[in-house]
A and B are shown apart, each in its own frame.
Chain A
Amino acid sequence: MKDMARLALDTAVQRGAEYADVRLVRYRSQNIGTEDRRVSSLSDTEDVGLGVRVIVSGAWGFSGTCDLTREGVQGCAAEAVAIARASATVGGKKVQLVAEPPTTTRFRTPYEIDPFTVPIEDKVGLLLEINDRLLANSEVKKAHGGMTLRRADRVLLNSDGSDLESEVVTTGMSYRATAVGGGDARSRSYEPPSLTKGYENIDRESLLANAERVAEQAVEHLKAPECPAMVTDLVLDPLHLALTIHESVGHATELDRVLGMEESLAGRSFAVPSYLGNLHYGSGLVTFKADNTLPHGLATHGFDDDGVAGQSWHIVEDGLFVGYGTSREVAGEVGLTRSTGTCRADHWGSIPIVRIPNLLLMPGKTPLSPEEIIADTKRGIYIEGMGSFSIDQMRCNFQFGGDAFWEIRDGKRVRMLKNVTYQSMTTEFWGSVDAVSDERSWVPNGVLNCGKGDPMQVSQMTHGAPTIRVRNVKVGAAAEVMRQSGPGSVV
């Protein structure tokens, strides 16, 4: 593999690239889906290719190919240079990379069990056994399960002299029960953290042990009353917060987006550089730390696709906005002399772009449990898990749902609710956080399917979080529209 990468790099430089890098990546993945008592999908995929990125006359060019013959990789490198030359004719600001000393690095996800050595019968058997337990509840009419297993073997060489190799393994599994009746259908899910970890991350005992509860809560969810429209306090669990953090903090602090480079698709951000050091992004209890060295983090890959080692740094510290995720191309725009190392491509055939790092809401510094937060809440709603999510293209106005909701009354969870959504503005929301649980309840959940870029790229990252309370949030406006108008009503 490396000989072909070296040949591509040499070709690019010989053809006039001022900077060049080559990624040669081999992927393997297995995806298994189950529905009720059948295997609904089962696939095993292999994919290998090479991507060449160059700067010529201050403009980027990129070409990717699955043809790994000598002619194929040389042609790919030549294409990248030709593309860059054509782009340079349009003018504009020349690409300048902040320095990164060349290095030789080998990174491997620490894992105990190679997921691809585990027999498929075992994987399928586990998924179907869980579905059996879900369907044992007679009011559960539908059970779905899914397992995702991935490996990426990457070689990265660049014209600075870096020689980098990585092997990253990702595993994850989840399931969902759906109760149907009375013209309605409601679900409940179980989704333990996906991590860069071996098959030991698939905790059979825990997955089976939660099935009965999930089934019962799907039924309770079906029978729950609707959430009224009101202003109330919210207590949010770590899995729910993974998505809120992702959308309202993660994407908002990607520096390429801030600089307008994502305008054509994913939009921009309100968190402009003049706010660094003076915008109160959240209350004093809120600290967001980026950490691409987090053990088993979904964005922990040893080094990014700029060849920059994984690091940790603050995005928001004690409520104050202090940092961005960057690439070597954009880091200098905010005076950084080194990139924070969060530039990744989702595939050998994609150009690397700034991605959200492992972005963590840090636990509270004083002892406080989620149960204590609820006990301290007079009126509110407790939300677990992920559901509906939507945010505007500047990352300000957002609306979120969840997987399960409970009314809190006088410090107790009294009953489930359905159709809970909340709407807020980003800094108003995080500024209203007045309780953060401690490290005992901190969980490293994440997302496997973050979309960004044009052409679209899909990436993964961890968003660890504790449980928090947010005061005075508007809930229920979405469902109120339908209650007043009816789903098929004529004006």
Chain B
Amino acid sequence: MTKTEAQALAERLLSCATADHTEIGIGYSSETAARFANNAIIQSVHNVDRGISVTSAFGQRVGTASTNDLSDDSLKAVVGRAEAVAKAAAPNTEYVPPPGPQDYMDTDMYDEATASFPHDARASAIAGAIRPVEAAGLRAAGSYSTYVHESARANSAGLFGYTRRTQACFVQTVMSENSSGWAETNGPSVASLDVPGAASRALRKAVAAKDPVEIEPGAYTVIFEPAALAGLTSIAGWTMDAKAAHEGRSCWTDKEGTQVGVEALDLRTVPTDRVLPTAPWIQQGLAARQIAWVSDGVLRTLAYDRFWAAKCGHEVTGGPGNLVMKGSDASVDDLVADVDRGLLITRFWYIRFVDPMQLLITGMTRDGLLLIEGGRIARGVKNMRFNDSPLRVMKNIRRFGKPEPTTLHGQQVVPPVLADGFHFTSTTSF
């Protein structure tokens, strides 16, 4: 779907509209993924879909209808359905009429070679990643995925925007009899991935974690690798809603403008990030811009939608489309060397809220929990359950490493960090 085609389609839909305000969303996606386990490809899929959504508003009565059928009858019908739904709705007293034309940042990252990545090349890359694992007598599992997304926004106030992007992601888990390791590589194109590197890291982690011992739960100095830290920052980002905070329903109540982390903590949304960009727009097609959520450790802003921003006299931020944290050039090994006794955490699994009012969360370590002693990796440790809060972690970070892209918990570019006093409350059997 080209920009011209999207614009023509949007104009056709708008020409059928009778509502006070009409917003159109057009999307096209192509997703291809090969999944492997037990050293073989077990599923290989390709899916193409498209979608039209129409949001109609009569005053504050708002309704949305969508379809993936682009026939003439269906296009007329979807506008009619949206308007019927809107007319039947009770008012949405927080509805804000859509904005006019926008000046969008260029966040497009489209790579034709990724969009047309051949199936046999994907299979061959996976075979190459499996080979050394099999040679070591271990088992490999993972997936190699590529995505194409094209989307457009238009409305009755004259707004139009179009964007297209590709994305590629490879993850690998390696298992021995009693340990596992995991690694990922992400980017806007297949050329930006390092599949052999990720495969090698997963294998080294599984070997390092072999024959794990059980240790006592408690408070530990830890190194969160980027995928692990991303689990905590995503929770922080998701909960930063200004309205909930102002209504006293959030851990962020009364925290805007206050010190929430160490001075070096800097967390932003960067729409034009060259590895994991966001869409060029936020709510209702409003142009996205860079947002500094935390800088110098101070919470600079919460997330304001258009209604709440107008009510508070604040700029609209939208939610965090991506999260980018500043770091240093230090490697994970450099951070390990700084730890007398502690734990290296590869990633977390099944993170869930326990008490949102304290941002208390729980989860399990996974695929590589390693004991550090005297500045070196000593041995593998059986996985443990943590109960702690990102609010505590942010205030106990001792050192930042080099940021890496991770998509395990949304689009993030975050460093490994060394932090003190992270709480584990129980162990498991492996």
Contacts and interface: CB of A to CB of B under 8 A. Distances in A.
A91 interface: yes
B353 A388 contact: yes
A90 B43 contact: no
A244 interface: no
Nearest to A65: B48
B426 A125 contact: no
A487 B46 contact: no
B167 interface: no
Interface string B338-369: 00000000000111111101111011101000
Given A37-B93, A90-B41, A350-B47, A487 B123 contact: no
A42 interface: yes
Nearest to B182: A264
Contacts of B66: 43-47
A281 B37 CA distance: 27
B162 to A, nearest CB: 20
Contact of A263 (B118, B173, B355): B173
A66 interface: yes
A89 B250 CA distance: 53
B42 interface: yes
Interface stretch (A286-294, A358-366, A371-379, A475-483): A475-483
B85 A44 contact: yes
Given A47-B67, A267-B349, A351-B45, A87 B88 contact: no
25 contacts: A39-B91, A40-B92, A44-B64, A44-B81, A59-B44, A60-B44, A63-B47, A66-B69, A79-B46, A83-B45, A89-B123, A89-B124, A185-B248, A260-B38, A264-B37, A270-B429, A391-B350, A392-B366, A397-B426, A397-B427, A421-B362, A454-B33, A482-B358, A482-B360, A486-B392
B46 A86 contact: no
B261 to A, nearest CB: 9
User: Closest 6 interchain pairs by CB?
Assistant: A92-B40, A491-B421, A120-B88, A263-B141, A86-B119, A397-B428
A394 B37 contact: no
Interface of B: 31, 33-51, 62-69, 74, 78, 81-82, 85-86, 88-94, 118-120, 122-124, 126-127, 130, 139, 141-143, 145, 171-173, 175, 219, 247-251, 253, 260, 349-355, 357-360, 362-364, 366, 383, 385, 387-389, 391-392, 395-396, 420-421, 423, 425-430
B248 A183 contact: yes
Nearest to A122: B88
Nearest to A181: B248
Interface string A32-71: 0000011111111111110100000001111111110000
Given A83-B45, A261-B42, A349-B49, A423 B67 contact: no
B362 A399 contact: yes
A42 B45 contact: no
Given A82-B119, A86-B120, A87-B34, A64 B67 contact: no
A278 interface: no
Of A180, A351, A391, A399, the most chain B CB neighbours within 10 A belong to: A399
Contact of A93 (B40, B67, B360): B40
A125 B89 CA distance: 9
Contacts of B36: 90, 264
Given A62-B43, A260-B139, A455-B33, A399 B429 contact: no
Contacts of A61: 44
Contact of B94 (A38, A47, A59, A350): A38
B357 A185 contact: yes
Contacts of A488: 260, 389, 391-392, 395
State the main secondary structure of chain A at its contact with B: mixed
Given A89-B120, A261-B37, A425-B428, 5 more contacts: A60-B42, A91-B40, A91-B127, A120-B88, A487-B392
Given A42-B63, A120-B89, A421-B354, A87 B123 contact: yes
Of B78, B119, B124, B171, the most chain A CB neighbours within 10 A belong to: B119
A38 B243 CA distance: 15
Nearest to B141: A263
A419 interface: yes
Contacts, number: 293
B120 A141 contact: no
A184 interface: yes
Nearest to B91: A38
A457 to B, nearest CB: 11
B247 A478 contact: no
A178 B127 CA distance: 53
Contact of A478 (B46, B90, B172, B362): B362
A84 interface: yes
Of B43, B62, B94, B123, the most chain A CB neighbours within 10 A belong to: B43
Of A66, A260, A262, A423, the most chain B CB neighbours within 10 A belong to: A66
Given A48-B68, A63-B45, A388 B139 contact: no
Contacts of B388: 481
Given A60-B42, A84-B44, A396-B429, A481 B90 contact: no
A142 interface: yes
Contact of B46 (A38, A62, A142, A388): A62
A392 B364 contact: yes
Interface string A173-185: 0000010110111
Contacts of B64: 41-44
Of A42, A49, A85, A397, the most chain B CB neighbours within 10 A belong to: A42
Given A393-B349, A454-B33, A423 B426 contact: yes
B425 A423 contact: yes
B62 A39 contact: yes
A313 to B, nearest CB: 25
B48 A38 contact: no
A487 B358 contact: yes
A19 interface: no
A86 B123 contact: yes
A335 interface: no
B31 A491 contact: no
